[in-house]
Chain A
Amino acid sequence: MGRLLNEKAADALMERLQEQYDVFAPRLFPGTGCYSDTDVVRYGQISSLSEIVWDKKSEYSFKETLLPISDTVFYFTEDEVKVPDAPRKRRLIFLRSCELCALKRLDGIYLKNGFADSYYERIREQADFVWMCCEESFASCFCASMGTNRPEQYEAFARFTDGKLYLEAEKGLLKELLEECGQDGFGEEASLNAVYPEENQEKIEIPESLPEDMASHELWKEYAGRCIGCGRCNFVCPTCTCFTMQDIFYKDNPKAGERRRVWASCQVDGYSDIAGGISFRKNQGERMRFKVLHKISDFKKRFGYTMCVGCGRCEDVCPEYISYLACIRKVNQAAKEARTNEQK
């Protein structure tokens, strides 16, 4: 059982939510696109549930609600170090199924890959999630192929249908607040199913195994000339977790400063630079190969599931129209050809 909320009822719920939570969801940032008079849908704090954008896929993923783009790890003076305080309030995050699946990948990297990352852990513990059901698949989605079209587990889900917001929670604070809304006469009791796209327009096959010489395959070469190395594909990806460290010495007082960790991209110059001026993967073809194989193969070797969740954001954002889907299809073709050759 859940509640079907019109705008007024949703406002009443939001008022209660905000006492406990900072609420994050995909919302419109008007006029902030790359090009003049273009908008961006990305995750941000909302003050009304009507701000949630349902009819478009957010350009950037939910990950910045847990992993700030530029995050101060500690402040330092000559003899003291101070770790910034954790956010004061819990976070309620509305997100799609692919992103709930991406959350599992983020947890894998930050909590279960050796020791737990305390910065991620403290914000993660304070976060509750609401699955935003996709009534329909968006153009570049291929979640069904990746098995991420519905989350493995969820505590609450939301639907937006006929101008009304439906919310259902199995447990926790949201369940309590929804019940409170019921007692106060906001919204109507209803029982809707969680829905998800059974299939997408884009279908993809991920090769089970890759030929040994995949890394030196011809197909990577074209990307050396096409990719401009802007890193958008990484920045919009819900499962890319790389960061770099920056030590800042304050301009007015270089004896104090801070250490930040900042999102990094394996496509941008500098990512694989090491001491001595050495850089691995100098050309964009090699970088594309590194990224794609990591998403569909290398990560899986360690964690048992693919990194890619099939959200298609990298497909949508590339200014050079480099299709990640087309690339996977080429890899798949190469894998098939290699198997056929082996059998001969």
Chain B
Amino acid sequence: MDINTKKAKKNAFRISKERGITASRVRVPGGKCTADVLEQVAAIAKKYGNGSVHLTTRQGFEIEGISLDNMAEVNQMLQPIIEELGINQAEKGTGYASSGTRNVSACIGNRVCPFGNYNTAAFAKRIEEAIFPNDLHFKIALTGCANDCIKARMHDFGIIGMTVPQYDPNRCVSCGACVKGCDQLSVNALRKENFKIVRNEEKCVGCGVCVTKCPTRAWTRSEKKYYRLTIMGRTGKKNPRLGEDFLIWTDEDTIIKVILNTYRFVEKYIDPTAPGGKEHIGYIIDRVGFQEYKKWALDGVELLPETIVKDNIYWSGIHYR
């Protein structure tokens, strides 16, 4: 059997522990797909796999037990899935064109969840379109609100939905539901003054709990959707850590620009001897310094006037090395 394992891996096939056997990794941006896609995944698993499908931590499918001989046939069967999911592809029928940049994953967001501040899957799709295919090792996750159910803070880029609560004192009945909600579920940024509500803007994390609790529509969401961009969280052997805030009250366009700029930064500074051409961005930033990264990340970016940019970032985490 003559297999170029590097090519196979970049074509989203795993080199498994069992000789001759691979697994097909199906990337599902934002973790949202139709039942049709599920059926097609099932068909591949039944025809070329061993009937088992793993739901990956990054919201893809890993179709197990496929013979390395059948990669081309599996790629053919993947085509309708790739088209339905809108995956960027160089040539039809050739499967997923890359695997280094991981699936952009997302919580269920405002399609279903009452706390979600935006359509996470739609934004995930937008990022997918902007960055794929790409073999650099990037992990991006989107979460609808500050609850961060997707654990966006453990990613290179964590995108957390925010809203600027809009208050109409004329509709407020001083019931206190927002104050109680903010205290019990969030950061206690609200207080009553003269029977109306005062929001501590510095404390507020834009979670929108006050809006969901308000019974009279005194609190509503801002027309504009905002995001907190956290950067360089990671797991792993050396120094696992949570991502830190980089931009607060930023917008979609800025986030996409910052991510694309980061690809350029990595291309410039990546360790040329890195195994498989993959080095975690966070370690590159640790090496060259945050200020240099920031210069690259914000190159050509026009920030919203309301965006807070962190001057410096000090990550912590556990140091095993």
Q: Contact residues of A with B, CB < 8 Å?
A: 29, 31-37, 40, 42, 60, 68-70, 230-232, 235, 246, 248-249, 251, 260, 262-265, 268-269
Residue in contact with A70 in the complex, picked from B170, B214, B217, CB distance below 8 Å? B170
Nearest A-chain residue to B220, judged by Cβ: A32
A-B contact pairs, 21 of them (CB 8 A): A31-B223, A33-B217, A34-B211, A35-B116, A36-B221, A60-B217, A69-B173, A70-B169, A70-B170, A70-B173, A230-B213, A231-B175, A246-B174, A251-B193, A262-B172, A262-B173, A262-B195, A264-B173, A265-B215, A268-B175, A269-B176
- Determine the chain B residues whose CB is within 8 A of the CB of A68 once the complex forms: 170
Q: B310 near A: Cβ within 8 Å? A: no
Chief secondary structure at chain A's binding surface: loop
Known A31-B221, A70-B173, A265-B173: A37·B119 in contact at CB below 8 Å: yes
- Determine the chain A residues whose CB is within 8 A of the CB of B208 once the complex forms: 36
Chief secondary structure at chain B's binding surface: loop
Residue in contact with A36 in the complex, picked from B110, B175, B176, B193, CB distance below 8 Å? B110
> CA–CA, A153 to B171, complex, Å?
31
**Nearest CB in chain B: distance from A227 CB, A:** 13
> CA–CA, A72 to B119, complex, Å?
40
Q: B194 near A: Cβ within 8 Å? A: yes
Known A35-B114, A36-B163, A265-B175: A251·B221 in contact at CB below 8 Å: no
Asked whether, in the complex, the Cβ of A231 is within 8 Å of the Cβ of B215, the reply is yes
> CA–CA, A264 to B195, complex, Å?
13
**Nearest CB in chain A: distance from B143 CB, A:** 13
Asked whether, in the complex, the Cβ of B220 is within 8 Å of the Cβ of A31, the reply is yes
> CA–CA, A232 to B176, complex, Å?
13
Known A248-B194, A262-B195: A40·B171 in contact at CB below 8 Å: no
- Determine the chain B residues whose CB is within 8 A of the CB of A70 once the complex forms: 169-173
Q: B99 near A: Cβ within 8 Å? A: no
- Determine the chain A residues whose CB is within 8 A of the CB of B175 once the complex forms: 230-231, 265, 268
Interface size on B, residues (CB 8 A): 33
> CA–CA, A79 to B195, complex, Å?
24
Q: Which 7 A-B pairs have the closest CB atoms?
A: A36-B110, A32-B220, A232-B215, A246-B195, A248-B194, A263-B173, A268-B175
Asked whether, in the complex, the Cβ of A32 is within 8 Å of the Cβ of B173, the reply is no
Asked whether, in the complex, the Cβ of A235 is within 8 Å of the Cβ of B119, the reply is no
Most A-side CB within 10 Å, residue of B117, B119, B173, B213: B173
Nearest A-chain residue to B181, judged by Cβ: A230
Known A31-B223, A34-B114, A36-B110: A69·B215 in contact at CB below 8 Å: no
Name B105-163 residues within 8 Å CB distance of A. Answer: 110, 114, 116-119, 144, 161, 163
- Determine the chain B residues whose CB is within 8 A of the CB of A251 once the complex forms: 193-194
Beyond the given pairs A69-B172, A231-B175, A262-B195, 15 more chain A to chain B contacts, judged by CB atoms under 8 angstroms and listed by A's residue number, are: A31-B223, A33-B217, A35-B110, A36-B118, A36-B161, A36-B221, A60-B216, A69-B170, A70-B169, A230-B175, A230-B215, A246-B195, A262-B172, A264-B173, A268-B176
